[in-house]
Amino acid sequence: MRILGIDPGIAIVGFGFIDKQGSKCVPVQYGCIQTEAHTPEEERLLHVYEGMVQLIDKYKPDAVALEKLFFNRNVTTAMSVSQARGVMVLAAMQKGLPVSEYTPMQVKQAIVGYGKAEKRQVQEMTRMFLKLQAIPKPDDVADALAVAICHAHSCTLNSKLNEVLRS
């Protein structure tokens, strides 16, 4: 199963493709889509959308997992990121891909085993899970890979629960 993990943003969208092979997660490709500051928001949204479509077409994921947005201060940023998230979901849905969302706490729990883990702990565990030489940069990329790993763990658990419930 190939999973696309996404850390939504308007300036930087982190993405990470992993293959779930049994109990292992293998990195396929990761990076970010960046938009230029001081560019009209509609152009930035188009750039994010087109980048997402190209990535989906090239790497052909079976599922998409996004980090749920959480903002407690800057409403303007929240609106821009929410719109960017919307075009990412649109790109996935147009390709017929299932989309799942995970809170930062769920991702931390899945990666570190503690829902209030520090960002650096999550990044280091992500590096170790994927046997990477270094923590991917910028942070948005490491976050996207962590979301993909979280989904890999969650879909395994969900399929086992469904098997038990069916029997």
CATH number of the domain encompassing residue 159:
3.30.420.10
Q: Tally the residues of the chain.
A: 167
Residue 143 annotated as part of some ligand binding site: no
Which pLDDT score, from 0 to 100, does residue 20 have? 95
- Above 60 in pLDDT, residue 161? no
Cis peptide before 138 (omega within 30 of 0): yes
pLDDT digits (tens, 9 = 90+) for 97-146: 999 999 999 999 999 988 888 989 999 999 999 999 999 999 999 999 99
Concerning whether 101 is annotated as a catalytic residue, the answer is no
Among candidate residues 50, 67, 101, 118, the one labeled active-site is 67
Q: What is the mean pLDDT of residues 2-24?
A: 96
- Greatest alpha-carbon pair distance for the chain in Å reads 57
Q: What is the mean pLDDT of residues 139-160?
A: 86
Among candidate residues 50, 140, 143, 163, the one labeled active-site is 140
CA distance 121 to 167: 38
Regarding pTM above 0.85, the answer is yes
Collapsed DSSP state (helix, strand, coil) of residue 31: strand
Task: Grade residue 52 by pLDDT with cuts at 50, 70 and 90.
Answer: very high
Among candidate residues 7, 50, 118, 124, the one labeled active-site is 7
Handedness of CA 79, 137, 156, 60 (dihedral sign): positive
Q: Which residue range is the domain that position 43 belongs to?
A: 2-166
Concerning whether 140 is annotated as a catalytic residue, the answer is yes
Cβ distance 16 to 5 under 8 Å? yes
Cβ distance 52 to 33 under 8 Å? yes
Concerning whether 67 is annotated as a catalytic residue, the answer is yes
The number of folded domains in the chain is 1
